Amino acid sequence: MKKQLLLLTAIIMAISTNLIAQETVIYYPDFRYDNNRGFTKHNITVGSVESNLWSRSTNLSKMPTDAELGYTRNAEATSITAKGYAGVGDAYDVTDTYAVVDGVDLTAYPHHQDFQVTFFTLAEYALGNFSKFSVLVSDNYSGDPTTTAWTDVTNQLDQIDDDVNYNGKWTKSTLNLNQWRTATNLVLAFRYQVTASGVVDKTEPGLDRPGAWRVCEVRFTTTAKPLNAVTEWQFDDFNMFEMINLTSTNAQGWKRTETLRTDLVEPVGEDYKSIQASAVYEDGALKSVSPTETWTVLKAVDFTGYSKAYLSFWGISQYKKGGDAELRIKMSTDYVSDQADAAGAVTAATWVDVTDAFNLDKSLDYDQTWVNSIGEVDVDAANPNINFAFVYTCTDTYSDVNGANAANRASTWKIGDVKAMVDPLATAIGDEPKFEAPLFYPNPAHDYLVLSSEVEQIEFYNLGGQKVNVNYNGGGQVNVATLSPGVYLIRMVLANKQVKASKVIIK
C-alpha cells in the first residue's frame, strides 16, 4: 500500500508541476467591507452581540502567512469571524448567520478545465459542542439564504476540524467545483450556528462557551490540463471529414472557406481552410432564411486507453439577430460512413449531444472574434472510436432578413483549426495501481527497460507533462539510452487494453 501511495503521490506531483503556472484566478474577494467587497452578511437569528457576527480583521498576526498560503496575499485582504458570545459571564443564545460570497460565472471559462475554490479557516475557543460551522454551495441563489436550495459540502472538506478549543490553527480547504461547470452564478456561503443557550463559563466543571470561526483567503481558480493533440482537421483534406445535408431547402449547408483566424500560423505549403454554415440564402435581390439541417462529420478517432476525450475548435457566430438557428456538437461510437447514402448513415447512427461540454460563441450581430472552445467527453472503453460532428440547424422561414425581417436573421457559423486531444496523464490518477507482477525492470534503468509480455504500448513523459521521443516496436525491450538522466512518467497499454501508469528513474 505504501508503494502504491508513493507512486500516486509522485504522479500527482508531476501533474501539479506542469499546471501550477497555468492556474488562473477567477475571483479573489478581499472581504474588506460587508455588502461591497466580496460577501454579504445575513443574520437570521442573533443570540448575542450582532457586531461579533462576521466581523472583519486586518490584523496580519491573526492571518496565515504568505508561506502558508503559497502565494502573495492581496494587500487589502481581511479575515471575517463569527463568534456567538461576548465575554466571560455573558449570556449566549441560539444564533444562525450566513456569510454569502458573491456569485461566480464559471461558463466564461473553458469547460474542460478543473475548477476549484480554496479558503482558510481557523476554529478556536469552543468549550462545548453546540456551535456549528457549515460550508454551502448553490447555483440557484435566491438572494435569501433561508429560501435557497443549498448543497452542504462540509463533509467533503476533511481539513475542517470540529475539535477546537484554544488550539485553533489556520487550515486550507479545497473544494472541486467541476460539477458546477455550467453555473452562471455559483455562490459559496459560510454558515455559523449556535444551537443552545447559556452563560459563558471557562471554569471546571462548566466549560461552557460556543466556538469562534475565522475565514479568509477565498479564491476561485481554474487550472488548464496538459492536453496533447492526436488528430487535427484543417479542412484541407476531404478524407478527414464529410459534409452532409439532411435538410437544405435552398442549397444551404456547410461549405469550405478561406477565412482563417488571424493568429493561426499556416505552415509553408499547407492550404488550411475553415468551414461555414448558414440558413441564409440569396432570394433574388433579397436575403432570406429557410429550414436547414447540415452536418460536418469528422473522421473517427481512436481513444483506446483513455477515460476522457477532448475536442478543441475555434469558431465564430456571426450576423445573428434572432430566430432559432444554432450549432450543436454531437458524438457517435457507431457511425459508419456510406458515400452512397450519406444522409442515411447519419440518421442510422446513435448520436449523443455534447454541446453543453463546450463554451460556444453565442454573440449576436456582427462579430469578428474567433473563440476557442474545448469540450471534455467520457470515453466508453468498449467503444473507444468516436466520430464528432458539427450540426447546424434552423427551422425558421423568413424573407428579407436584411430588411423587413432583420430581427430574425439566422446566424452564420465558421469553424476552424479542430483538434482531437487527450490528457497524457489522465489515467495516472484513476484507480489506485495494483501491480500483481512487475510490468517492467530494472528501475532505475540505464540502457534498456525490459517489459512484461502484457505490455503492448509504452509512452514516456517528462515531469513537465511533455511526451519524449522513445520508440518501442515490440520485442520486450525499450532503448532508453538516449534519455537524459532523471525521473520519467510512463504510460503502458496492456494486452487487455487496460492502461497503467508508473514512474521510472533513468541514470
Query: Dihedral (C-alpha) 248, 249, 255, 261: value to the nearest 10 degrees?
Result: -100
Identify whether 487 is part of a domain.
yes
285-334 pLDDT per residue, tens: 999 999 999 999 999 999 988 888 999 999 988 888 888 899 999 999 99
What residue type is 187 in one-letter code?
A: V
Where in the sequence is the domain holding 142, given as residue range(s)? 31-223
What CATH number does the domain containing 106 carry?
A: 2.60.120
Beta bridge partners of residue 104, listed in sequence order = 186
* 407 and 287, same domain (yes or no): yes
Residue 35: half-sphere exposure toward Cβ, Cα within 13 Å: 4
User: How far apart are alpha carbons 120 and 97 in whole angstroms?
Assistant: 19
Query: Dihedral (C-alpha) 482, 483, 484, 485: value to the nearest 10 degrees?
Result: -120
Check: pTM over 0.75? Answer yes or no: no
* 210 and 234, same domain (yes or no): no
Stronger pLDDT, 475 or 375, i.e. the higher one: 375
Identify whether 475 is part of a domain.
yes
Q: pLDDT confidence of 63, banded at 50, 70, 90?
A: confident
Q: pLDDT confidence of 282, banded at 50, 70, 90?
A: very high
What residue type is 305 in one-letter code?
A: G
pLDDT at position 504: 85
Q: pLDDT confidence of 362, banded at 50, 70, 90?
A: low
- Does residue 377 have a pLDDT over 70? yes
* 71 and 118, same domain (yes or no): yes
Torsion sign over Cα 230, 234, 235, 237: negative
Identify whether 477 is part of a domain.
yes
The listed range with the strongest mean pLDDT (61-65, 305-309, 359-363) is 305-309
The DSSP bridge pattern shows strands 131-138 and 187-194 to be antiparallel
Domain C-terminal end among 172, 196, 223: 223
User: How far apart are alpha carbons 197 and 478 in whole angstroms?
Assistant: 71
What CATH number does the domain containing 366 carry?
A: 2.60.120.200
CA 127 to the chain's CA centroid: 41
* 342 and 449, same domain (yes or no): no
pLDDT at position 256: 96
Which residue has cell 464528432?
A: 388
DSSP symbols for 61-88: GGS--HHHHTSPPPTT--EEEEES--ST
Q: pLDDT confidence of 258, banded at 50, 70, 90?
A: very high
Identify whether 11 is part of a domain.
no
pLDDT at position 143: 93
* 85 and 145, same domain (yes or no): yes
Identify whether 90 is part of a domain.
yes
* 438 and 383, same domain (yes or no): no
Identify whether 37 is part of a domain.
yes
Yes or no: say if 95 and 347 are a contact pair by the CB < 8 Å rule.
no
pLDDT at position 363: 61
Yes or no: say if 262 and 358 are a contact pair by the CB < 8 Å rule.
no
* 261 and 284, same domain (yes or no): yes
* 391 and 408, same domain (yes or no): yes
* 439 and 379, same domain (yes or no): no
* 494 and 477, same domain (yes or no): yes
Which residue has cell 494486452?
A: 495
* 360 and 433, same domain (yes or no): no
Taking Cα atoms as reference points, which of 299, 311, 306 lies closest to residue 335?
A: 299
- Does residue 12 have a pLDDT over 50? no
pLDDT at position 128: 65
Beta bridge partners of residue 282, listed in sequence order = 287
Torsion sign over Cα 234, 235, 236, 240: positive
Residue 311: half-sphere exposure toward Cβ, Cα within 13 Å: 29
Identify whether 1 is part of a domain.
no
What are φ and ψ of residue 483, in 5° steps?
-80, 140
Domain C-terminal end among 379, 404, 422: 422
User: How far apart are alpha carbons 209 and 193 in whole angstroms?
Assistant: 13
What's the domain count of the chain? 3
Domain C-terminal end among 223, 246, 272: 223
Look at 111-125, 287-301, 373-387 and tell me which has the smallest mean pLDDT: 111-125
Q: Which DSSP letter does residue 411 get?
A: P
43-52 pLDDT per residue, tens: 999 877 777 8
343-354 pLDDT per residue, tens: 999 999 999 999
Q: Where are the alpha helices (DSSP H) in 272-385?
A: 342-348
Beta bridge partners of residue 315, listed in sequence order = 371, 415
pLDDT at position 22: 60
What CATH number does the domain containing 461 carry?
A: 2.60.40
Identify whether 10 is part of a domain.
no
Q: What mean pLDDT value characterizes the chain? A: 83
* 191 and 316, same domain (yes or no): no
User: How far apart are alpha carbons 56 and 215 in whole angstroms?
Assistant: 10
